[in-house]
A and B are shown apart, each in its own frame.
Chain A
Amino acid sequence: MIRVAQLGLGLAMAVIIWASFLWARPAQNFVGESSRIVFYHVPMAWVASVAFLLAAWHSAVFLKKRRMESDDAAAAAARLGFVFCVLATVTGSIFARVMWNAYWNWDPRETSIALLLLVYGAYLGLRGAIEDPERRATLAAAYALVAFATVPFLMFAVPRMYASLHPDTVINARGKVEMSADIRTVFFASSFAFLALFAWLFSLDRKVSRRLREARS
């Protein structure tokens, strides 16, 4: 069953990559073929945010129930979130170079993702600085939750005060998805595939952490 799901995900990814470059047509108002990055950049940014949400959720569960499995999950979400956050930053930066001629413009969205990177880095750094597993789990969970409470202030408060260069978000201010049918199909397929990829890696990471812990005790 799991083998079938993995095989399916691999095939779906292959089809999506093909479709993203060869089937979907480039969107209007974008330089050249640059709009194709939406199929990769946006799902990655979504996964990075979902992972942050998951890390905070499992941190809260850990503080409530004090089961190390929750700590494994929070750490796994943060590790993967960090990777996807780096990928989203790099792809966004490449797009920025093509569209606006500079890799980094301190656009509100770029600032937000830089902050998310900092939070992930700080969280993982803190985990590295504590020897005792239980203490590490507790302090990291507390930090993740405080960061979860403060990050939105940049994500939501500061960017809205200023105009952004960033293209309309997928669901734009008018509450509609304004994409041509072919782009929309590939985009949502890709988002789903990236989330599935994340879910798979997430469960793998948790499994590895649990086995490591069992081997030690």
Chain B
Amino acid sequence: MTERPARPGVFGAAAALFRKDLLSEWRTRVSTNALLLFAFAVLVLVGYAVGPASLSPEDRPTVHSVLLWIVLFFSAMTGLARAFVKEEDAGTAAALRLAAPPPAVLLGKLLSNLALLFVVTLFVVPVFLAMMSFELKSPALFLLLLLFGNLGLASACTFTAAIVAKASAKGTMFAVLAVPLLLPPLVGAVMGTRVAATETELSAGLDFVRLLVAYDGVVTTAAFLLFDAVWRE
């Protein structure tokens, strides 16, 4: 047998998969369009119904924090399942299964979903802040919450997507499975955002950032440990 060249490591393979996903997405724009249009529709609805003037000043931080994370959460629900559902439905999953090591597949898909989520965040957050006159006393805290909140959202959603891709009623099951996993970090992110709107000190909301970082670490580790069983059954 001839000497075979070494396969790239997990990071190399994940990078190749990430680039492939970006290229696919650039060609079709299915996920980006779905997420952005959904986010836009919800923003219009929220802005029209709860606009800046209809709330008393003391209610604003709470209501605005909740609404912002609801918009981000449901945008994630509409788009992130596609990472794996599309591979299984199109019949490409088996090709990928033979060609790439499982951790690389998860990492590549996680990066794709993270990129998608950050695109949506970049669109939603400025529009939301402007539209709702949502003023932040501690932008640094807010950015940390967005960063680690999205990381947890992407990790949990990517793993859930790998599961639902093999079940029936994929669309419904995705939300059903993701909600219980995401409730803890979302509660933390909402409470933290409220603190970012009312307190100037970063340290006032650091507990929530810590909660999110710990959650991200745990859910990502669990996803990597269990992914092989899900991906290759």
Contact = CB atoms under 8 A, between A and B. Distances in A.
Nearest to A63: B229
- Main SS class of interface, A: helix
A134 interface: yes
Interface in A64-116: 111, 115
Most chain B C-beta atoms within 10 Å of own C-beta, residue among A126, A129, A134, A141: A129
Contacts of B72: none
B50 interface: no
Interface in A155-204: 157-158, 161
B108 to A, nearest CB: 19
Given A63-B226, A153-B211, A147 B169 contact: no
A157 B223 contact: no
Nearest to B159: A146
A213 B153 CA distance: 38
Contacts of A147: 180-181
Contact of A129 (B173, B185, B207, B211): B173
B99 to A, nearest CB: 22
B218 A143 contact: no
A119 interface: yes
B167 A130 contact: yes
B71 interface: no
A149 interface: yes
B226 A146 contact: yes
Nearest to A155: B184
Nearest to A127: B167
Interface in B150-192: 156, 159-160, 163, 166-169, 173, 176-177, 179-181, 183-185, 187-188, 191
Nearest to B225: A145
A150 B173 CA distance: 18
A138 B229 contact: yes
B168 A129 contact: yes
B188 A122 contact: no
A110 to B, nearest CB: 13
Interface string B192-227: 000000000000000100010011001101110010
Contact of A126 (B156, B163, B185, B233): B163
A125 B173 contact: yes
Contacts of A135: 166, 233
B217 to A, nearest CB: 10
A131 B215 CA distance: 32
Contacts of B163: 126, 139, 142-143
A134 B233 CA distance: 8
Contacts of A143: 160, 163, 177
Contacts of B180: 115, 118-119, 121-122, 147, 150-151
Nearest to B230: A142
Contacts of B183: 115, 118, 154
Contacts of B156: 146, 150
Contacts of A118: 179-180, 183
Nearest to A120: B180
A122 B181 CA distance: 10
Nearest to B179: A118
Given A126-B173, A126-B177, A158-B211, A139 B184 contact: no
Contacts of A111: 187
B216 to A, nearest CB: 10
13 contacts: A63-B229, A121-B176, A126-B167, A126-B173, A138-B230, A139-B167, A146-B219, A146-B222, A146-B223, A149-B221, A154-B183, A154-B184, A161-B207
Interface of B: 156, 159-160, 163, 166-169, 173, 176-177, 179-181, 183-185, 187-188, 191, 207, 211, 214-215, 218-219, 221-223, 226, 229-230, 233
> Nearest 3 CB-CB pairs, A to B?
A153-B184, A154-B184, A118-B180
Given A121-B176, A143-B177, 18 more contacts: A63-B226, A111-B187, A115-B183, A119-B180, A122-B176, A125-B176, A129-B169, A139-B167, A139-B230, A145-B226, A146-B222, A146-B223, A149-B219, A150-B156, A153-B185, A157-B184, A157-B188, A158-B187
